[in-house]
């Protein structure tokens, strides 16, 4: 599933192509994805101008000039691609098409149909059921060691599981949690509450750094993900531990990266460096 860097990369591509543009035509080619499309979805959007494209956690937020907001999630395999000029031939699983009066267009393709698009309103967006309760953005000013420590207080779950909890911090997923914990030298099995304090002071900048570097690299392409312009992401070439089971640790050079399963997800770490 695309994580924060992938969604942010897509957001930036969509913003360049669509912000300030008026939607001349919106096509919805099936009744549902993970959930049904809102009633009259295409009709509600047609004729509206896109004033901003933002991100909250792993959600894309497409704000229109009447205050309506398209809340979109890429799911496991969804991709948003953009272009200009003539529309390309329809491909299998092209479920939603946005055409602007000025020429640029965007297409949402999702062969597994685990993505979604629903509507909210800018005035009540934070209270929307999909967004309510989501924790602080890890690249925002409100995310620091003190905030993270408070969120982890009393949590007996492993720190890996705690960081995947979107109420603790927004947008993190399996890849970047493994990478951040390695940089912070924290074992993924450590009890979350024990990370509060000094360890949180190492973990917060590690999270920020790995996300910033991943965004700069266009995200990570492991299977389905592509950037909005169709290019692959490249951060997978910079992984230190994720998907590196059996390789020598790049930090200590003494032991091999291990893989364990936590909450039905693979976790990668160095048993010597991470405590």
- The catalytically annotated residue of 55, 58, 155, 199 is 58
- Closest by alpha carbon to 207, among 250, 177, 241? 177
DSSP three-state, residue 216 = helix
Extract the tokens encoding 208.
């920020």
Catalytic residue status for 3 = yes
Active site residue 126: no
Q: Which of 274, 221, 270, 224 is nearest to 244 (CA)?
A: 270
Place of tokens 């092209």: 94
What backbone phi and psi angles, to 5 degrees, belong to 171? 85, -10
Catalytic residue among 34, 190, 208, 265: 265
Beta bridge partner(s), residue 232: none
Contact indicator for 245, 257 with CB cutoff of 8 Å = yes
Residue 10 · residue 91 · CB < 8 Å:
no
Pick the catalytic residue: 2, 5, 104, 136? 2
CA dist., res. 172 & res. 106, Å (int): 26
Radius of gyration, CA atoms only, the chain: 20
Nearest to 273 by CA among 253, 259, 258, 252: 252
Q: 259 has which bridge partners?
A: 268
Asked if 173 and 1 count as a contact pair (C-beta separation under 8 A), the reply is yes
Is the separation of the CB atoms in 267 and 160 below 8 Å?
yes
State the Cα–Cα distance between residues 159 and 100, nearest whole angstrom. Answer: 45
Tokens for 64, please give them: 């229109």
Q: Is 198 a catalytic residue?
A: no
Catalytic residue among 3, 6, 8, 179: 3
Please say if 58 is a catalytic residue: yes
Give the residue numbers annotated as catalytic, written as ranges: 2-3, 58, 265
């Amino acid at each position: 599933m695309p994580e924060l860097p992938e969604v942010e990369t897509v957001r930036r591509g969509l913003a360049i192509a669509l912000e300030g543009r008026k939607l001349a035509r919106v096509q919805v080619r099936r009744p549902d994805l993970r959930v049904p499309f809102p009633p009259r979805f295409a009709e509600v959007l047609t004729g509206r101008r896109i004033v901003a494209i933002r991100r909250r956690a792993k959600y894309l937020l497409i704000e229109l000039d009447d205050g309506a907001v398209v809340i979109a999630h890429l799911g496991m395999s969804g991709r948003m691609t953009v272009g200009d000029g003539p529309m390309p031939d329809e491909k299998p699983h092209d479920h939603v098409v946005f055409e602007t009066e000025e020429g640029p267009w965007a297409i949402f393709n999702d062969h597994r149909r685990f993505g979604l698009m629903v509507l909210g309103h800018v005035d009540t967006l934070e209270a929307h059921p999909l967004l309510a309760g989501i924790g602080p953005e890890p690249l925002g000013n409100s995310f620091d060691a003190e905030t993270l420590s408070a969120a982890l207080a009393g949590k007996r779950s492993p720190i890996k599981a705690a960081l995947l909890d979107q109420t603790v911090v927004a947008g993190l997923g399996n890849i970047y949690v493994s990478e951040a914990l390695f940089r912070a030298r924290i074992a993924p099995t450590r009890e979350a509450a024990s990370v509060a304090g000094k360890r949180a002071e190492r973990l917060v900048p590690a999270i920020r750094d790995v996300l910033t570097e991943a965004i700069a690299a266009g995200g990570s392409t492991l299977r389905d993900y592509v950037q909005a312009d169709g290019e692959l992401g490249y951060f997978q070439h910079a992984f230190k531990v994720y998907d590196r089971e059996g390789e020598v640790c790049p930090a200590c050079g003494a032991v091999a990266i291990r893989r364990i399963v936590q909450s039905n997800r693979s976790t990668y770490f160095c048993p010597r460096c991470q405590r």
